[in-house]
Amino acid sequence: MNRKLWAALFLAGLAAPFLIYPVFVMQLLCFALFACAFNLLIGYTGLLSFGHAAFFGGAAYVTGYLVKNAGLTPELGVIVGTLAAGLMGYIFGILTIRRQGIYFAMITLALAQVIYFIALKAPFTGGEDGLQDVPRGMFLGLVDLGHTYHVAGKPLELNLYYFVFIIFCIGFWIIHRAIHSPFGQILKAIRENEPRAISLGYKVERLKLLAFVISASLAGTAGATKSLVFQLASLTDVSWHTSGEVVLMTLLGGLGTVLGPVVGAFTVVALQAELSAFGSWVTVVIGVTFVVCVLSFRRGFVGEVLEKIRTRPPGQND
C-alpha cells in the first residue's frame, strides 16, 4: 500500500509541470522541502525553532551570490548553500541546544534576526532590493536550466523543473531515512522523555545538535534552490515572517508526520497565491489559520487522517 502511494506521488511529481504552471510547482516543492526539514526538528525532536528563515534565506543569499558572481554551476551552488546553512546551523545549535522550549524558540528567533540585519546591511547582499538576476546556469556545465520548451504552445522550463524535483526527492529521502533510522527513534525518545534518554546513556545534546544541523542544512537546500527558481534572494527569505510561515506549514499539515509538511506547505503557498491580490489581508488569513489550527486541530491535516485510520474500530476495514 505504502509503496503504491509513493509511486503515485512520484509519478504525479513527474507529470506536474504539464498540468500546473511549473514555477508554481517549483515554489511548492521548495517550501515543502523547507517544511520537511523543519519538521525533522519540531516533529521528531520537539524543538521549536523560530529562526529557520535564517538558514533558508542565508543559503539563498550564499548560492545566489556565488552563482551570480563566482560563476558556480547550479548544482555546486546548491551544495555550497547547503553547507553554508549547515555551518550556520552548527553555530546556532551550539548556542541554543542547552536551552529548551520557549527559550529555544526565542533564542533562535533572535539569532535569525542577526542574519536578517547582515542581509540588510552587508555590502554584497543588495540591501532592500535583495540579490537580483541570479542566473540559472548550466547543470554540470552541460544542461541549460534556463531553457524553455514549448509544449502545446505553453512555455515550460522543464530542465529547471526536473532539477528542482530531483533535489526535492533527494532531500525528502534523506529526511525519510533519518526519521526511520535508529537515530530517528532516539530523537523521538528524546522528545517524549529526555531525562530517560539521558539515563539510557544517549548523548542527548549531541544528537539534538546533529538533528539541528541536518534540519538547517536541508532548509538551506530549499532556500538555495528557491534562489535559482526565482533568480532572487530577498529580505523576505530571511525575515521572521518566513520563520513563522514554515511553522504554520508544518503545524497545519501535521507535526511529526512524514507527508504533513508537504501538505501544509502546498496549502499555505496556494493560499498565498490565491490571496495575493488582497495585500495585507494575507497576513490576517495566515494569522487566523494559526489561531484556528492551534485551538482546534493541533494534529494537522495528515495527523487527523492518521488518527481516524488508527482509531477505526476493527471489522469496519473495507
* Sole binder of other proteins in the list 205, 290, 304, 305 (CB under 8 A): 290
When the beta carbons of 27 and 108 are compared against other proteins, the nearer one is 108
Write out the three cell numbers for 182: 535508529
Total number of residues binding other proteins (CB under 8 A)?
40
149 binds other proteins (CB under 8 A): no
Distance, first Cα to last Cα, the chain: 14
298 binds other proteins (CB under 8 A): yes
Q: What are phi and psi of 234, to 5 degrees?
A: -125, 170
96 binds other proteins (CB under 8 A): yes
Instruction: Single out the segment in contact with other proteins by CB under 8 A; choices: 110-118, 133-141, 146-154, 219-227.
Output: 110-118
Distance CA 273, CA 7 (A): 28
What residues pair up with 131 in beta bridges, in sequence order?
233
* Sole binder of other proteins in the list 76, 83, 275, 286 (CB under 8 A): 286
Distance CA 94, CA 107 (A): 12
Sign of CA dihedral 161, 76, 176, 251: negative
Q: What angle separates helix 240-253 from helix 260-275, to the nearest 10 degrees?
A: 120
14 binds other proteins (CB under 8 A): no
When the beta carbons of 113 and 231 are compared against other proteins, the nearer one is 113
One-letter amino acid at 279 equals: G
Residue 157, SS3 per DSSP: coil
When the beta carbons of 76 and 275 are compared against other proteins, the nearer one is 275
* Sole binder of other proteins in the list 169, 174, 271, 282 (CB under 8 A): 282
Q: What is the contact mask toward other proteins in residues 31 to 70, using x (rule: CB under 8 A)? A: -----------------x----------------------
206 binds other proteins (CB under 8 A): no
100 binds other proteins (CB under 8 A): yes
Restricted to residues 250-279, the positions that interact with other proteins (CB under 8 A) are 251, 279
87 binds other proteins (CB under 8 A): no
- Please give the sequence-ordered ranges of beta strands (E in DSSP) within the chain, or none if there are none: 131-132, 138-139, 143-144, 149-151, 154-156, 232-233
When the beta carbons of 108 and 221 are compared against other proteins, the nearer one is 108
Q: What is the 3-state secondary structure (H, E, C) of 61-125?
A: HHHHHHHHHCCCCHHHHHHHHHHHHHHHHHHHHHHHCCCCHHHHHHHHHHHHHHHHHHHHHCCCC
190 binds other proteins (CB under 8 A): no
When the beta carbons of 23 and 285 are compared against other proteins, the nearer one is 285
Name the site residues for other proteins (rule: CB under 8 A): 48, 95-96, 98-103, 105-107, 109-111, 113-114, 117, 121, 240, 244, 247, 251, 279-291, 293-295, 298
